[in-house]
Chains A and B, each alone.
Chain A
Amino acid sequence: MSLKRRDFLKIIGGSALSFSLLDCSPSPYHSSIRKGQWSPGVEKWVQTVCQACPGGCGILVRVVDGKAVKIEGNPAHPVNRGRLCPVGQAGLQVLYNPDRIKGPMKKIGGRSSREWRSISWEEAMETLVSKLKELKNSGDTHKLVLLNGEKRGMMDEIFSRFMNVFGSPNYFGDDSNMSLIRAFYLTQGIDSLLAYDFENSNYILSFGSSFLSSWPSPVQSMRAYAFLRQGRSGKKAKIVQVEPRFSITASRADRWIPVEPGTEGMLALGIAYVIVKERLYDRSFVEKFTFGFEDWKDKEGNTHSGFESLISNRYRLDLVSETTGVSVSTIVSLAKEFATNKPAVAIFDNNATNYSNGLYNALAIHSLNALVGSIDVPGGVLVQRKVPLQDLPPVAVDEVTRKGLLQPGIDSSANGRFPVASSTPSLIPDNILEGRPYPANLLLMYKSNPIFSSPNSERYRKAFEKIPFIVSFSSFMNESTQYADLILPDKTYLEKWQYAESSPVSKIPVLGIGKPAIENLFNAKPTEDVILDLAQRMGSYFAGHFPWENSKDFLLYKIDNLFKARKGIVFADYFEESQLRLLEERGWWVPQFTSAREFKDELMRKGGWWDPAYDYGVRSFVFRSPSRRFEFYSQLFKERIEKIAEHEGESSEDRKEAILQNLKIEAKGDDVFMPHYEEPRFKGDAKKYPLYLYIYQPLSLAEDHGSNQPWFQEIMGFHLNMTWDSWAEINPDTAAELGISDNDLIWIESDYGRLHVRAKIYHGAMPDVVSVPYGLGHTALGRWAKNRGINPIELIPIDFDELTGLALKFSVRVKIYKA
C-alpha cells in the first residue's frame, strides 16, 4: 500500500490545519492545566455485565472514590474476552448523562402538558398501586398494557411473571426481528434467532446483515471476523455482502454486491437455481434432513411440487438478473463459490426482511443453508442451548387473573390477517384508538419509545391521548415518556443487580452476573426492584408469588439451578479454562465444586458461567418442524392458512385462494408455502418518486439514547466526515443529474412527509437508493439529541408485512431536490 502525502492531506481535508488567528489568543501566562483536577482516590474494579445491547459482554468498571471513571472488557468473559465496542465504552455517558430523569415525577395537568413535579418514591408507588388495584377490583386486569423494548434477561422474567399474576395478556416487546424468527419457525420450528458458527465458516454470504455493526452481539461477530481474516491458519474465509448500500460490513467484506432493495430473496433464489441445476447441493443432507425438496405425495396421495421444480421452473438467471440488478455471471460465481467452499453460511437480518416480501426473502436466504447442508454443522447455522436457570415457582392464578388472561390480546387482528404472526404489536395503537377488542386503561413503558421508532407515530400520539393513565420507567425524557402521567426512573445497567445471557446468535450459552458498580446516583430505582416492591404492596396474593426481597435475591434464586445442571464451567483463568474446555468438548464434565454454596460463591466472584461445548446432531433440538426436518415446504405455514379457512367455515380451495389474495400473495398452489419471490410493494409512484429510501443504523446509534451521548455525535458519520447532524447518502451520478453537490441542503420527500437534510455524495450509494441513518431527529430525549438531524421514519407510512404483521421500514419511494 502506498499513500502519498498529498493524497493523505486531501483525504483529511486539512481538518486539523484549519485555524484562525482571530478566534483565540492564548496568553503565554495562562494556566495550562485545569485546577482542582488531580485527585487520586481509592480505586476498585467492579465486575459486571454490559447491557447496552443484547450481546451481554462482561465488563470491569473502574470506580475511584465511588465514581465510575472507565469501563473495560472483562478478560474472563467468553463473549468479549476483555474487549469492548464503542457502545460499551461509552456507558459512562449514559450513567452520568445530565439529562437522566433524576427522581420520580408526576404530571401536572392533562396529557398534553409537559410539566411534572417531583414526588417521593412512596407517593409514586402508592399511585401506581392504587391504579393497579382499581383494575384488579373491577376485573379489568387485561386492560393493563406493558411495552418492553428490551425483552430479555431478568427484567423480562419479572415483567412476564407480574403480568401473568396480575392477569393481562398484553405484554409486548420490540418486533424488529419478527420476520427472521418467523422464517426460522416455519422452516425449522424454532421460535428464536439462530446462532452462527462464523469462526469455522469458509464462506459467509451476507444479505444486508450488519454483522460488523449493529449485530445482536457485535463484539463477538467482530472478533469472529478478525479470526477469519488473520487469526486462523490454513484456508481463508471469503465474505460477500449483498446490500443496497456500501455499509461498514460491505466495506470490510471481500466483495460487495449492490442489489435492488427488496430483491435479496430473488438473488438467493437465483443462487439456489444454479446450485440445483448444477447439482451442487449437498445431496445427503437434502435427503436426510429436508422436506419438500423433490416433488412429493401427501397422505391422500396428491402430488405436490417441491422446491427443486419451483426453482427450476421459475428462477431463470436472466429473470433474476433483471430483477436484482446483479449480472448473470456474478450470480453463477456466487453460487459456485457458496456451494464449493463448505462450510458456507447464508446470513441476514432485518435489513433484508423489512419489506412487504420480507418473510419470503428470509425463507429464500435461509434455504441456501439447507441446500449446502450448513445446518447443525461446524461453520454453519446452529441453535443455542439456553442457560439452565431455575424456573420460577408455578403461578396459582385467582379467578380475576384467570379471566383476564383468557382475554384476546390488545394486539389482536381480524381472523385471517397476519397468519404467521405470533403477536402484532404494530397494531396496538390502532386497536387502542378504536377500543378494540377493549379499551386500554393503564400503559406501562420500559425502554420503549414507539413515538420515535414507529412509522406514522401520529397513531401512537392519538392512542396515548386515549389511555387514562400512562407510566414510564424510562431513564430519559424521550418522546413517549413525555406522555407519561407518572415516571418511575430506572437505574442504568451499571447500577443494577442482573444477569445477562449471551444473545441467541452466539452458539454457546453464557451467563454473566451483574452487580452495581456505583450507588446513590440520583433518586432512581432499578425497575426490577420497583416491580418486586409493587408486588409486596399489592396484597398477599401478589406478595406470595414474589417471595424475593429484592433484585439481588431474585438473581440468586435464578442461578440456584446451575450447580445441579451438571454442565458448563464457571469463568476461570485461561489455563484452567482451556483444560476444562478440552475435557468438556470430549464429552466429559468435571465437577469444579463440592457444594452448591461453594459453587455459588465462586460464580459470584468470577462473574459468570458458560458451557463451551456444543452438542451436534441432536435432531429433535435443531429440527422441531412437523417432519423433524428443514422444511422447504413449510407444513406449519400450510396449517396456519388451513386453520383460517376452517375458522371461516369452509375449507374449499376457492376460500384459500381468497385468503391468499387478501394476503396479497401472488404465488399459487404449493409455491405459497415455499421460498419464492414476491415483488416488494412500495408506496409512491415510481415516476414521481424515483428513489428508494434505505434506513440503516450505525452501531453508535443502536440504542435509543445514543444520540444524546456527545461522543457518538462525533463519530457516527466518520465515513463521510459528518458530525452532529444527519445526512443523506447519494450516488454521484444521481446527484449530478439532480444538480446536487456535496453538503448541499436537500429535501427528501415521500407521499407522507418531507425532511430537510444535508446531502453527502457517496460512492457507495446505488443510483436509485438514498440512504439515511436512523437514530437522530429526536424532538425530546436530551440537550444533545433534541432537534438535531432528522428521523427518516417520519417519511414512512404504516404498512404491514401481511404475513407477519411487522410494520415495514422499507416501504416507500422518495424524491430528493435541492432546498
Chain B
Amino acid sequence: MPRWGMVIDLDKCTGCQACVIACKAENNIPFSSPKEARLKRIISWMSVLPVMEGEYPDLRERFIPRPCMHCDNPPCVKVCPVGATYKNREGLVAQVYTQCIGCRYCTNNCPYTLKYFNWYTPEWPKEMENYLNPDVPIRSKGVVEKCTFCHHRLQKAREKARAENRRLKEGDYVPACVQTCPTEAIYFGDLDDPHSLVAKLARGPRAFRLLEELGTEPKVYYLTEGEWHG
C-alpha cells in the first residue's frame, strides 16, 4: 500500500505560482471577488507563502508553496464530528463534501491553515462554466474543502495502468501542481517505497517539514540548503 507524499524543493522554486493556477483549473476552485478577497476568503488549495529574511539590502526571500500537508497524524480529522474528513489507507487526508456539515472545527484546528470554507455559492459567468473539470464536483456554500492531492488523478492513473496490464509506476500519478511546475521543484510519489525519489529526497540532509514539533507528521517535505542565510 503506497503512502503518498510530496517533496518541494525551495531552492528551485521561483514563486511563479503556476502550481496555484494549475490547481485552481484542475479542481474547479471558484475565484474570489474583491470584497471576498478583502475578507481573506480566497480559496486556494495551493498557495505560495513568501518568507523574507534579513535586513536591507541583504535580503533573502523564499517562496513556500503550501498544499494540504496530508498529515499522518491529522489534527483536522480528530475534531470532525461527522467523519467527513478522515485519513485513508494510502495516507490521503480526505474530505467528503456530502458528509460535511460546515462546522469549521477542522479549519480552526489545522495548524497550517490550509482548509478552506466556502463562504459563498460558487459562481462563474456562463462562458467560464465551459472550462470546469467534469471530473471534480463543485462544492456548495457551507462546505469545507482542501487540497486532495488531486486524488481523482490517482483514480485515473490507476485505471490506466490496469488497462495497460501493468503496475502503477512512479510518475503515473501526480497532482496538477506537480505536473506543471516549470522548475520541477515539486516531487510526488510513494514515501514508503524506499527506492522512490520522494523517499530518497525526504531522507536527505536538506529535508524538513513545517511545524514538525507539533507532531502532525505532515507528508509534505521541503528541501532547502542550510539555514536561511544559505
Which residues of A does B touch, CB under 8 Å?
1-3, 5, 8-9, 11-19, 23-24, 26-28, 30-34, 37-41, 64-65, 67-73, 80, 82-86, 88-90, 92-93, 95-98, 100, 212-213, 218-219, 222-223, 225-226, 229-230, 246, 248, 250-252, 256-258, 699-700, 710-711, 713-715, 718-719, 723-725, 731, 763-764, 788
Contact A12 B49 (CB under 8 A): yes
B18 at interface by CB-CB < 8 Å: yes
The smallest beta-carbon distance between A347 and chain B, in angstroms, is 16
- 8 Å CB contacts to A: which residues of B1-33? 9, 11-12, 14-18, 20-22, 24-26, 31-33
State which of A9, A27, A68 has its C-beta within 8 Å of the C-beta of B142. Answer: A27
Chain A CB within 8 A of B164 CB: no
**Contact status B211-A3, CB under 8 Å:** yes
**Closest chain B residue to A21 by CB distance?**
B104
CB atoms of B137 and A83 under 8 A apart: no
Contact B52 A17 (CB under 8 A): no
Contact A1 B180 (CB under 8 A): no
Q: How far is the CA of A28 from the CA of B103 in the complex (A)?
A: 9
B 131-178 contacts with A by CB, 8 A: 131-135, 137-143, 176
Question: How many Å lie between the Cα of A82 and that of B176 in the bound state?
Answer: 12
Taken together as a complex, chains A and B put the C-alpha atoms of A9 and B49 apart, in Å, by 11
Contact A719 B180, beta carbon cutoff 8 Å: no
Report the separation of the CA atoms of residues A3 and B41 in the bound assembly, to the nearest whole angstrom. 25
| A225 in contact with B107 (CB, 8 Å) | no
Q: Are A96 and B52 also in contact (CB < 8 A) when A225-B183, A256-B59 are?
A: no
* Cβ–Cβ < 8 Å partners of B51 in chain A: 3, 11
Chain B residues contacting A229 (CB-CB under 8 Å) are: 11-12
Task: State whether B113 touches A16 (Cβ < 8 A).
Answer: yes
Nearest residue, chain A, Cβ from B39: A18
Interface string of B61-104 (1 = CB under 8 A from A): 11100000000000000000000000000000000011111101
Q: B16, A86: Cβ atoms under 8 Å? A: yes
Q: What are the residues of chain A within 8 A of B25 when measuring CB–CB?
A: 70-71, 89-90, 92, 711
Which residues on A sit within 8 Å (CB–CB) of B57? 256-258
Q: Once the chains are docked, how many angstroms separate the CA of A96 from the CA of B125?
A: 9
Distance, CA A715 to CA B224, complexed state (A)? 24
- Please give me the residue from chain B that is nearest to A18 by CB atom: B40
Contact of A30 among B42, B133, B140 (CB under 8 A): B140
A258, B56: Cα distance in complex, Å: 9
Q: Which residue of B lies closest to A762 (CB)?
A: B52
Known: A89-B22, A222-B183. Contact between A16 and B40, CB under 8 A? yes
Closest residue on chain B to residue A522 by CB atoms: B127
In the complex, which residues of chain B have a beta carbon less than 8 angstroms from the beta carbon of A223?
182-184
Tell me the complex Cα distance, A719–B88, Å.
35
Distance (Å) between the CB of A574 and the closest chain B CB? 12
Given A70-B25, A764-B52, A86 contacting B15 (CB threshold 8 A):
no
From the candidates B31, B52, B122, name the one contacting A711 in the complex (CB within 8 A).
B31
- A222 and B14 form a contact (CB under 8 A): yes
Shortest 7 CB-CB contacts between residues of A and residues of B: A26-B142, A226-B183, A251-B61, A16-B113, A98-B125, A710-B31, A724-B34
Given contacts A15-B113, A723-B32, A723-B34, contact A38 B134 (CB under 8 A): yes
In this assembly, does B181 line the interface, its C-beta being within 8 Å of a C-beta of chain A? Answer: yes
Contact B182 A714 (CB under 8 A): no
CB–CB A86/B20 < 8 A: yes
Of B16, B33, B44, B126, which contacts A212 at CB under 8 A?
Answer: B16
Q: How far is the CA of A40 from the CA of B159 in the complex (A)?
A: 15
Bound Cα distance from A8 to B111, whole angstroms: 9
Asked whether, in the complex, the Cβ of A32 is within 8 Å of the Cβ of B107, the reply is no
- A213 proximity list for chain B (CB < 8 A): 16
Additional A-B contact list (16), CB under 8 Å, known A763-B59, A764-B52: A1-B224, A5-B213, A24-B119, A26-B141, A33-B140, A67-B131, A70-B133, A80-B182, A223-B183, A223-B184, A226-B12, A248-B14, A250-B59, A713-B37, A718-B50, A724-B32
Give per-residue flags for B213-226: 1 if the beta carbon is below 8 A from chain A beta carbons, else 0: 11000000010100
A-contact 0/1 string along B191-207, CB 8 Å cutoff: 00000000000000000
Contact A40 B134, beta carbon cutoff 8 Å: yes
Give Cα distance in the complex from A8 to B138, angstroms. 30
Whether the Cβ atoms of A246 and B34 lie closer than 8 Å is no
A19 near B104 with CB under 8 A, answer yes
A668 → B minimal CB distance (Å): 35
Q: Is the CB of B141 within 8 A of A5?
A: no
Q: Which of B51, B135, B185 has most A Cβ within 10 Å? A: B135
CA distance A2 to B227 in the complex (A): 8
* Minimum Cβ distance to chain B for residue A773 (Å): 15
Partner of A34, one of B34, B104, B128, B140: B140
Partner of B137, one of A38, A73, A92, A725: A38
A634–B38 alpha-carbon span in the complex (Å)? 55
Q: With a 10 A CB-CB cut-off, give which of B98, B99, B184 has the most chain A CB atoms.
A: B184
Q: Give the distance to chain B from A694, nearest Cβ to Cβ, in Å.
A: 15
CB A204 to nearest CB in B, in angstroms, measures 14
Docked complex Cα distance between A82 and B171 (Å)? 13
Cβ of A32 and Cβ of B98 under 8 Å apart? yes
A32 and B185 contacting across the interface, CB-CB below 8 Å: no
Known: A85-B182, A90-B21, A763-B56. A230 touches B119 (CB 8 A): no
In Å, the complex CA distance between A250 and B61 comes to 9
Residues of A within 8 A of B139 (CB): 32-34
A258 to B57, CA, bound (A): 7
